[in-house]
Amino acid sequence: MIIRNKDFCLAHTFECGQCFRWNLQPDGSYIGVVQDKVIKIWEENGAVVTDCTDTGLIEQYFDLNRDYTPLKNTLRHDAILQAAIEYGYGIRLLKQQPWEALVSFIISANNNIPRIKKIIEALCRNFGSPLQDGYYSFPSASVLSKLTLEDLAVIKSGYRAGYILDAAKKVQCGDLDLEAVYAMHPDQARAYLKQVKGVGDKVADCILLFAYQKFAVFPKDVWIKRTLHRLYGLEERDFDTAVAEKFGALGGFAQQYLFYYERERS
């Protein structure tokens, strides 16, 4: 499958912190797991090419039916974002699986990206289903809900293990309906997700943006807080209103460009 899209850069999309299961290979390609498929993807002659034959899956996952050019042009009216967009051109917001995003961003709390990736990898290797070439699916809530803290010790997630089990049990028993979140408004959805232990505002917002495509949501982590203060001169109590005024419905895209810009620049 060949994807011709001028607003699609694999490195920027995979390295901007929204996902944790894509890895750069020695030949320059990326390999990752989406649902039950191991996918290889690379750039060739100015296009993106993948060995995945499920066109619908690729289009949905990489948000290929959205034109990023107009939204970038809108955000460019902000001079700071102009630079951030120029730097992070080709970022696309992936449409990830809610359950995987929930667990992944629980693990992300007070953690660093290399270790987040290792913990998730261990989680999949130990409790997921084997796919091809030694890759594993992301373990289901059903499987994880039957584990104990001792079982989960192998992934070395520290105090987050209890949070993972809480999420799995709530999904398994039906207290947490991840499908229902699609139809919720962001504020309602955020409160709903926060019933899971280990899910606060920031983790919830990442899930809403990276799985549910709630693009107005603007997750505020330590990096973004530094950016908003350093580049925009904002104080924390003014973040929400300022972000809504400046970026509006495109807050999530703005956040991702700014996050990548701030992180790679340091």
Residue matched to tokens 């809480």: 166
Smallest gap, in angstroms, from Cβ of residue 20 to DNA?
A: 9
Residue pair 168/141 in contact (Cβ under 8 Å)? The answer is yes
Handedness of CA 71, 77, 81, 86 (dihedral sign): positive
Question: For the purposes of burial, counting CB atoms within 10 Å of the CB of 66, is it exposed (0-12), middle (13-18) or buried (19 or more)?
Answer: middle
Smallest gap, in angstroms, from Cβ of residue 54 to DNA?
A: 25
**DSSP-derived secondary structure letter, 238:** G
Smallest gap, in angstroms, from Cβ of residue 66 to DNA?
A: 18
Q: Does the footprint of DNA cover residue 87 (CB under 7 A)? A: no
Q: Does the footprint of DNA cover residue 249 (CB under 7 A)? A: no
Q: Does the footprint of DNA cover residue 110 (CB under 7 A)? A: yes
Residue matched to tokens 């970038």: 72
Residue from the set 54, 202, 216, 231 that interacts with DNA by CB under 7 A: 202
Residue from the set 56, 114, 174, 233 that interacts with DNA by CB under 7 A: 114
Q: Does the footprint of DNA cover residue 203 (CB under 7 A)? A: yes
Q: Does the footprint of DNA cover residue 173 (CB under 7 A)? A: no
> Which range, of 76-84, 103-111, 133-141, 168-176, touches DNA by CB under 7 A?
103-111
Handedness of CA 215, 194, 123, 170 (dihedral sign): negative
In terms of CB distance, is 131 or 223 closer to DNA?
Answer: 223
Query: What b/e string do you get for 130-167 counting C-beta neighbours within 10 Å, with b at 16 or more?
Result: eeeeebbbbbbbeebbebeeeebeebebeebbebbbbb
Q: Does the footprint of DNA cover residue 118 (CB under 7 A)? A: yes
Smallest gap, in angstroms, from Cβ of residue 111 to DNA?
A: 5
Q: Which of residues 220-239 bind DNA (CB under 7 A)?
A: 220-224, 237
Any residues with CB less than 8 A from the CB of 211 and at least 6 apart, and which?
95, 96, 97, 98, 100, 101, 102
Residue from the set 8, 13, 14, 16 that interacts with DNA by CB under 7 A: 16
Q: Does the footprint of DNA cover residue 30 (CB under 7 A)? A: no
In terms of CB distance, is 159 or 179 closer to DNA?
Answer: 159
Any residues with CB less than 8 A from the CB of 146 and at least 6 apart, and which?
none
Smallest gap, in angstroms, from Cβ of residue 202 to DNA?
A: 4
Neighbouring CB atoms inside 10 A of 68's CB total: 20
The residue ranges that bind DNA (CB under 7 A) are 16-18, 108-116, 118, 153, 156-159, 194, 196-204, 206, 219-224, 237, 255-256, 259
